[in-house]
Structure 1
Amino acid sequence: MDGKELLQKNRELISYLFFGVLTTLVNYVSYLLFAPLFGTTTVPTVIAWILSVIFAYVTNRIFVFRSKVRGWKALSFEMVSFFGARALSGVLDVGFMWLFADYLGFNDKWMKLVSNVFVIIFNYAASKLVIFRKKENGAIK
């Protein structure tokens, strides 16, 4: 297998990692911008989550999983699934930040990076296995 075939075979994973890094940057930079304005990590984490989830949905739908979903009903299901899964990972992110930064006193900037690693893994699994799963003849593969 040559390099081109290897890239094509792993296109989805490579593009997920690429856009995952960009989404993490959106999340982290947003957090850094809003963190000085609040006395807790919760509000800036939520703001950063909202901005990064919007960015992630657009890039995952178009570039990573190349969703072909059309029609209001199917698109609504896809969006609700995506934002629902991200809401769960957002709760994990907020809880992680509260526990390790606010409660235990670890450096919030480092904890935000560690939290993002767990969030990326969870979000990929949810996107791959549930939200953007491929369908064949109307049946889920």
Structure 2
Amino acid sequence: MKTCIKNFFDNEILSYLFFGVATTLVSIIVRITIFYLCKQELWATALGNIAGILFAFFTNDTIVFKQKRKHWFKRLIKFTTARFITFLLDLLLTFIFVTSYPHIIGQFVGDNLNTINTIETIFAQLTIIVLNYIFSKVFVFKKH
């Protein structure tokens, strides 16, 4: 069993997908919790992304891409910059589909804002996982 787990996490793509899902769950849980508590979709999106970015950096740096501790701060800056780009995309999608035009999704769910926010969140996170892998692989965690 231990060997299977080790082999799983030694596979970069499987490991990335596992921690991508974990990161997405962290982000979604924080985001939806904040939204339910204060009904501020942009703040919820921002705090969810911050929690996800920090969780993702540490798991990607140490487990997925197995980087040496040297130059970790430089990687953190690159990683944060790349994630900031997808964060802006996330904010834009939230602004369009939850804040400005909630009826686009709402027409299918009785215009329930909580459901609209949840659907948009899941769609945005799936798109962001793919983009974040590309950014991480190409720009941040290079093999030396």
Alignment of 1:1-141 (within 5 A): 11-70=11-70, 74-105=71-102, 106=105, 107-135=116-144
Instruction: Give the AA of the match of 1:84.
Output: T
Task: Report what 2:108 is aligned to.
Answer: none
Contact 1:85 1:123 in 2 (8 A): yes
Overall identity of the aligned pairs, in %: 28
- Secondary structure of the 1:67 match is coil
What's the C-alpha RMSD, in Å, of the aligned pairs? 1.6
Instruction: Give the AA of the match of 1:91.
Output: L
Contact 1:40 1:102 in 2 (8 A): no
Task: Report what 2:109 is aligned to.
Answer: none
- Distance in 2, matches of 1:119 and 1:50, equals 14
By how many angstroms is 1:102 displaced?
A: 1.2
Which 5+ residue runs of structure 2 have no aligned equivalent?
A: 106-115
- Secondary structure of the 1:30 match is helix
- Distance in 2, matches of 1:37 and 1:22, equals 22
Q: TM-score, normalised by structure 2?
A: 0.82
Which 5+ residue runs of structure 1 have no aligned equivalent?
A: 136-141
Instruction: Give the AA of the match of 1:26.
Output: V
By how many angstroms is 1:68 displaced?
A: 1.7
By how many angstroms is 1:121 displaced?
A: 0.7
Per-residue CA shift, 1:19-71, capped at 9, x if unaligned? 0000000011101110023343110000001111100001001111001241x
Per-residue CA shift, 1:54-95, capped at 9, x if unaligned? 00001001111001241xxx2221110001111111111111
- Distance in 2, matches of 1:14 and 1:37, equals 34
- Distance in 2, matches of 1:40 and 1:100, equals 14
- Secondary structure of the 1:66 match is coil
